[in-house]
Structure 1
Amino acid sequence: MIANKVYTRDEMREEHIITSDYHFIDKEGEYFAKLIMRAEASKNMMRLFFQLSDGRKIITPVFWWQSYLGFHEIDNGTNLRLIYERNGKGIALKKIEILD
């Protein structure tokens, strides 16, 4: 069972949390999703795991300079509207709206 916290890499390994079925989003636009899990990544980055309303599973990074878009305070299981936009490095999460 996924706990309502930000997992470390070690905790994910210890609890055998497999994320290989999550993929990066490849098109900008608006998506509706449920937050499944949050996890640390490299320094100053957090990984977010979502299940989209159509069933797809995606992983999204957020960064310190975005203030992590507030995801330290958003509980797993929260329904969200996600806005992805193209930037110089690809597609990035720019805005969120809590729907619950």
Structure 2
Amino acid sequence: MRAYSSLRQLKEKGICVDEYLTNERDGVFNAQLDCKRWGKKRNVLAYFTLEDGSKVIASAWQNTGYLGIPEIEEGAMLTLTFEKAKNGVSYLRKVERKEGQ
């Protein structure tokens, strides 16, 4: 499945994403892709559980090829790279599958 089409579709499937927050840290994190959906601004929103148990949401945009997120199956183990921009916001910059996954 590529990505859910809306937040409403997630809710209809019984998927609650209320616990997910924007990641405010930069760095490299191991994470599981929990689910994904299309945003309203030609972006994909991905919901991850980090290795420390934190639940984060991140956007990927069309100009980056959505970082490959639409093609990654839910449950996949990944390495995520977040970088802080000049405005202080930490953005998802790279998504890699963990070796053997």
TM-score w.r.t. the length of structure 2 is: 0.87
Count residues with an aligned counterpart.
Answer: 97
Report the AA paired with residue 47 of structure 1. L
Match of 1:18 among 16, 25, 29: 16
Moved over 2 A (4+): 13-17
Q: Unaligned stretches of 5+ in structure 1?
A: none
Cα displacement (A) at 1:92: 0.4
Cα displacement (A) at 1:12: 1.8
Match of 1:59 among 54, 57, 60: 57
In structure 2, the residue matched to 1:98 is 97
Q: Unaligned stretches of 5+ in structure 2?
A: none
In structure 1, the residue matched to 2:30 is 32
Deviation by residue 1:34-92 (Cα, 9 ceiling, x = unmatched): 00101011131110000111111110011101110011211111111111001144110
Identity %: 27
TM-score w.r.t. the length of structure 1 is: 0.88
Give distance in 2, aligned partners of 1:65 and 1:92.
Answer: 14
